[in-house]
Chain A
Amino acid sequence: DGGITQSPKYLFRKEGQNVTLSCEQNLNHDAMYWYRQDPGQGLRLIYYSQIVNDFQKGDIAEGYSVSREKKESFPLTVTSAQKNPTAFYLCASSMGVRLAGAPSSYNEQFFGPGTRLTVL
């Protein structure tokens, strides 16, 4: 089945520890994204990547880091510098818009099931 997987579903960490969240897609999408969701709120963009070996900061990148060494993988590291790391983390992908004349549907983002991180 094609889709986006995130693991684990639930993650617990002690304060001060770095933790890496996994995101894998087999949709052959160029672009991948990480969002954070807090209770009762919308989604806020952390980082995004339009192509392998390239990524850009989103609106709330402080305290996070990413890598994009493979097209299908976009792991997110929550570092000890992130002041309030407890949240629901969502990964998404889209076909991307690098090609001139690409259909508008290439912008549609599809989400994984999410990872709930709790820092104790």
Chain B
Amino acid sequence: GQQLNQSPQSMFIQEGEDVSMNCTSSSIFNTWLWYKQDPGEGPVLLIALYKAGELTSNGRLTAQFGITRKDSFLNISASIPSDVGIYFCAGLNTGTASKLTFGTGTRLQVTL
């Protein structure tokens, strides 16, 4: 099965810095979801996007649904130590019986 390309694969940043990551696909999706996974735990849904061009915020997190419907972006502002984890994007087409296609993940580490 297809997996979406996420970049960067990993990043080390200092507390207080802003973070940007993106997710690209060779095919179109009509829904994009962003999840965060802590070590040994299940992913937690952060943001859901339903319309091309949509920009949605959740606290310090902002995500965008790309105009081409083949990409999505996640920004974290003023990072804090608890932002550490793996961030996954997931694309969905409602015509495919609710099957999510997941990205390869971006591992974020925040230093003090």
Contact = CB atoms under 8 A, between A and B. Distances in A.
Contacts of B48: 104-105, 108
Contacts of A58: 1, 99
A107 interface: yes
A41 B104 contact: yes
Contact of B94 (A6, A56, A92, A104): A104
Interface string B44-71: 1100101000000000000000000000
A12 B42 CA distance: 19
Given A45-B1, A107-B94, A90 B43 contact: yes
B94 A42 contact: no
Contacts of A68: none
A117 B104 CA distance: 21
B97 A108 contact: no
Given A104-B31, A108-B33, A116-B40, A42 B100 contact: no
Interface of A: 4, 6, 31, 40-45, 48, 50, 56, 58-60, 88, 90, 92, 94, 96-97, 104-105, 107-114, 116
Q: Nearest 4 pairs between A and B by C-beta?
A: A59-B1, A111-B42, A42-B102, A104-B50
Interface of B: 1, 3-4, 31, 33, 35, 40-45, 48, 50, 88, 90, 92, 94, 97-100, 102-105
